[in-house]
Structure 1
Amino acid sequence: MTTSTRVAAGLLTALVTSVGLTACSGDDGGSSQATPWSEAGAKAKELLDGTSGIEVSLSTDDDPGTDYLSAATGTIIADPPAFEGTVNGRVSGFEASSIDVVSVDGTLWIEAPVLGWTDEYQPEELCAPDPARLLDPASGVSSVLTGSTDVEAGESERGGTDNKEIFHTYAGTATGDSIRAILPCAEGDAFEATYRLDDDGYLRTARLTGTFFPDSEPVTYTIDVSEYDVEKDISAPR
């Protein structure tokens, strides 16, 4: 595998590691009669499992001291499973940005610098899941929600357009087992988790902190789910 392909492939591995979920801060909306997490988490999972697709973005201000993903944006479609997006980060000491990634029909494509589109890399080679399957109800990111433990409700927050929306926060622990269902190589046994749901019960943001990568410092990833019920035709690059 060439250096440029390794850069793109490594960033993709970091992407699927952390598209697990965040919590953006907003103006304090005061405390509320919060729904217990057993109900709120189950509903958020149901809504994720039932969507046609989502628009997501993530970022971190941390540097784990190893190869890592610094930012990403993308679209995940549930049926048929597909992913299209871009990633930024560092691999093997190389800084890379705006690396295009497509996953469709069980094949992952990355637009490696210089080489162009290639399907040389596949997820199992780097112990990573297919990003197109992150909405899978059994093994995707929604299972992290219902697998979380000791989750307690926090205060409501204002946010969204013109600060008009009310979000409900929950904080607890995402188990290492639920994270490893997405990324088998995840090192941590527990991850600090904060989830933020809107008034309709949709997961909008989540923050996960923990050791995602071998021989690295803990990282906090902030991920926003900006849109649900997305429909998009994603095809393999030609």
Structure 2
Amino acid sequence: MTRRSTVVRRLAAAVLVGGVATASFSACSGGDDPVTENKKLDDDGDGKVTPEEVMAGAKAKLDDTSGVQVSLSTDDEPSDGDYLASAEGVIIADPAAFDGEVAGRVMGVDAADIPVISADGTLYVKVPVLGWQDVDPNDFCAPDPAQLLDPEKGVSPLLTATEDLEAGDSELGGDDNKETLTPFTGTLPGDAVRNILPCAKGDTFDATYRINSDGELTQAEITGEFFSGEDAITYTIDVEDYGVEQEISAPE
């Protein structure tokens, strides 16, 4: 393998591994009543909105949206190796596409504002000096980020795969603390996480979701062993907007 191809692969790995795995979300929408009082989510008509019904509704919201504006970050830092520290961008559902920037540690060096585009089934990373390079996410045990809104293999299936769900006390959040958000905690089986990141090492992951009164997933925190031999890491992704529409094309 040439030095150039090694640099491209290592950089792409740092861009993709870890952060793409941890899909968690935050959105903006109004409402004063907690989601547990949203009768539209009472699928069985028993007068009670269960955590499972809330997750099913939140999955449907993600599956139905045209696109989302997202940001991802972690305050944790692995002791060794490349990792994703933050990311932000737009994911479009149809045709599946992603346009954003990432930051992290690459080959032991901090790197920021790295452009990433996925369009027409191809993932591109803009490597310093070398320019845009197309890469295969399968080489890095990571999905194409454009597929994270896929109803079957994206982020939304994690919501309905979460076990031992419990609702917490509602709280204020969002823009100017005007949203009523309800936290839900639970446990994700490692196999569910590996559907979007095959190399995630943990057997189980702790998950905390915040759902607004309209039933939209607004924030998710997923904690567990993402990197072999490292302590648990928490990734948080905020969905800053639903219904995003944007044309994304391959870089020239």
Normalization by structure 2: what TM-score?
Answer: 0.87
Q: Deviations over 1:23-70 (max 9, x none)?
A: 89xxxx999956311100000000000111001101111112232111
CA distance 1:143–1:41, change in 2 (3 Å): same
**TM-score, normalised relative to structure 1:** 0.92
Give 1:10's match in structure 2, choosing from 14, 36, 39. 14
CA contact (8 A) 2:35 2:212 kept: no
Seen in structure 2, the aligned counterparts of structure 1 residues 152 and 23 have a Cα distance that, compared at 3 Å, is farther
RMSD value over aligned CA atoms? 2.0
Stretches of structure 2 that go unaligned for 5 or more consecutive residues are 38-48
Any conservation in 1 of the 2:25–2:217 contact (CA below 8 Å)? no
**Using the alignment, how far apart are the partners of 1:39 and 1:31 within structure 2?**
14
Equivalent residue number for residue 221 of structure 1? 235
In structure 1, the residue matched to 2:167 is 153
- Checking the alignment, whether the CA contact within 8 Å between 1:23 and 1:222 is kept in structure 2 is no
DSSP-derived class of the 2:249 partner? coil
Q: Say if 1:32 and 1:155, in contact at 8 Å, map to a contact too.
A: no
Does the C-alpha gap of structure 1 residues 69 and 81 become closer, same or farther in structure 2, counting only changes over 3 Å? same
The answer (yes or no) to whether the contact 1:83–1:234 under 8 Å persists in 2 is yes
Which residue does 1:102 correspond to in 2?
A: 117
Matched-pair contact (CA < 8 Å) for 1:87–1:97: yes
Moved more, 48-57 or 33-42: 33-42
**What is the correspondence of 1:119-130 to structure 2 with a 5 Å cutoff?**
119=134, 121-130=135-144
Q: Report the counterpart of residue 114 of structure 1 in structure 2.
A: 129
Deviation at 1:7, TM superposition (A): 2.1
Residues of 1 paired with 2:35 and 2:16: CA distance? 39
Distance (whole Å) between structure 2 residues aligned to residue 111 and residue 130 of structure 1:
15
Q: Which runs of 5+ in 1 are unaligned?
A: none
The secondary structure found in structure 2 opposite 1:16 is coil
The answer (yes or no) to whether the contact 2:167–2:183 under 8 Å persists in 1 is yes
Match of 1:176 among 182, 187, 190: 190
Q: How does 1:127-142 map to 2 (within 5 A)?
A: 127-142=141-156
The answer to whether the Cα contact below 8 Å between 1:78 and 1:132 also exists between their aligned partners in 2 is yes
In the other structure, the counterpart of 1:82 is: 97
* SS of residue paired to 1:14: coil
Contact kept in structure 1, 2:119 and 2:248, CA below 8 Å: yes
- Once residues 232 and 88 of structure 1 are traced to their aligned partners in structure 2, the CA distance between those partners, rounded to angstroms, is 23
Aligned residues: 232
